[in-house]
Structure 1
Amino acid sequence: MADIVLSSTQLSYQYPQGTNLSFPDIRVQGGLHCLLLGDSGKGKTTLLHLLSGFSAPTTGEVRLMDQSLYALRGSSLDAFRAKNLGFIFQEAHLLRNLTVAENIMLAQNLAKNPVDEAEVMHVLEQLQLGEKANSLPHQLSRGQKQRVAIARAVINRPALLLADEPTASLDDNNTALVLKLLFDIAGNYGSTLLIATHDKRIKDQFTNSYQL
């Protein structure tokens, strides 16, 4: 049986003067891609932020690669997360003054890994972005920015790859293309996918899912 890459227990989050959200316990097994399915407003993005250590829960625990995530602080948390987890946000969040290649190298730096320009170019070539390595973000289309964000997320070969609504604004054809790209790149880099979405079109692509 494959190792458990990510697990959460009794997670809840209280917004200041607002909603209290409680989440199901999550277990993500290595190599078994997983879906978090729920309508808008159900807390999918909040849960992803809790699972990745970007936000701290009101109650509960998250373990990534058997490390208690909230036991880590500051630069230790940043480095551990950068090494073991890749996050594909709804928006690419590329640094506008850095080239495509430099944005990806920054992820290597955050993980305290040596900068490997050859590996950066290899990832970009796989995503058909090799010729864009020296381009700035404003010179890219939205789809190209999304692929750069994927490259940045996988450059450190993370055990877990989180994606927040990667197909929500896409038509059926492009949804199929993006899903294939995510599955292929996760397979190439030994990562397990956890996708949060309200897009019920992709549910049949996953054997492991949670309803929020």
Structure 2
Amino acid sequence: MADTVLSSVNLSYKYPQGAKLDFPDIHILKNQHSLLLGDSGKGKTTLLHLLSGLSKPTQGEVQLMGKNLYSLSGSSLDSYRAKNLGFIFQEAHLLKNLSVAENIKLAQSLAKVPVDEHAVMHMLSELQLADKANALPHQLSRGQKQRVAIARALINRPGLLLADEPTASLDDTNTALVLKLLFDTAEKHGATLLIATHDKRIKDKFVHAYQL
């Protein structure tokens, strides 16, 4: 289907000497912002890693923007993922020796697209971070780091934006602010959201949800 952003079929993953996890089939259309809801330990992060090609399943298939993710490998997988998918991890994972702007430019390099200084500064301005472009990660607050991670995830205008527990450690006020930021920036840049969380406070914000 032309407007399918992400789909998975029969995904399962077995940890070495550990449990086997079976996952529900996922089918997400463009602009169909979706929630992946489940308690801690149910495999939400594992599923996000499978859906993004960061891990390989024991069985099953993932289609991202119409291409079988596991038909790609090495640098081909890295560049395809970097162009089509933005991933916001629980921790920002910013490279500590690079400035805010350099961390975002790195995402462009990984996608094998030309570094666009203007686009980077425009994105930072949108997220009220223009004055932090030359700052190092240790000079940022936790909230600022999270916004840099969002900017990095969106800089290549991916079709899909994955977020792993973006509100888990936040109070109600900041949860509402982060959700609004994710929705607004995704809409503005044409990305479809998939948020994995155990935070039941945000369930009512989504029409489409998958339960683990």
The bucket for the TM-score relative to the shorter chain is: over 0.9
SS in 1 for 2:18: coil
| Greater than 2 Å deviation, 4+ residue runs | none
Q: Where do residues 172-191 of structure 1 align in structure 2 (5 Å cutoff)?
A: 172-191=172-191
SS in 2 for 1:209: strand
- Distance in 2 (alpha carbons) for counterparts of 1:197 and 1:170: 12
Contact 1:161 1:192 in 2 (8 A): yes
Q: Where do residues 70-89 of structure 1 align in structure 2 (5 Å cutoff)?
A: 70-89=70-89
- Superposition deviation, residue 117 in structure 1: 0.4
- Distance in 2 (alpha carbons) for counterparts of 1:146 and 1:174: 12
For 1:14, the aligned partner's letter is K
- Distance in 2 (alpha carbons) for counterparts of 1:95 and 1:201: 31
- Distance in 2 (alpha carbons) for counterparts of 1:166 and 1:86: 14
Q: Where do residues 15-34 of structure 1 align in structure 2 (5 Å cutoff)?
A: 15-34=15-34
Report the TM-score, using the length of structure 1 for normalisation: 0.99
For 1:171, the aligned partner's letter is D
Contact 1:94 1:149 in 2 (8 A): yes
- Superposition deviation, residue 114 in structure 1: 0.7
For residues 60-104 of structure 1, the C-alpha deviation after alignment (integer angstroms, 9 at most, x for no partner) is: 000001100000000000000000000000000000110000000
Q: 2:108 matched to which residue of 1?
A: 108
Q: Where do residues 29-40 of structure 1 align in structure 2 (5 Å cutoff)?
A: 29-40=29-40
- Does 2:50 align with 1:64? no
- Superposition deviation, residue 189 in structure 1: 0.5
Count residues in correspondence.
212
Q: 1:202 matched to which residue of 2?
A: 202
For 2:81, the aligned partner's letter is R
For residues 150-176 of structure 1, the C-alpha deviation after alignment (integer angstroms, 9 at most, x for no partner) is: 000000000000000000000000000
Give the root-mean-square deviation of aligned CA atoms.
0.8
Q: 2:51 matched to which residue of 1?
A: 51
For 1:11, the aligned partner's letter is L
For 1:106, the aligned partner's letter is L
5+ residue gaps, structure 2: none
Q: Name the % identity.
A: 76
- Does 2:10 align with 1:10? yes
For 1:93, the aligned partner's letter is H
5+ residue gaps, structure 1: none
- Superposition deviation, residue 4 in structure 1: 0.6
- Superposition deviation, residue 2 in structure 1: 6.8
SS in 1 for 2:81: helix
SS in 2 for 1:114: coil
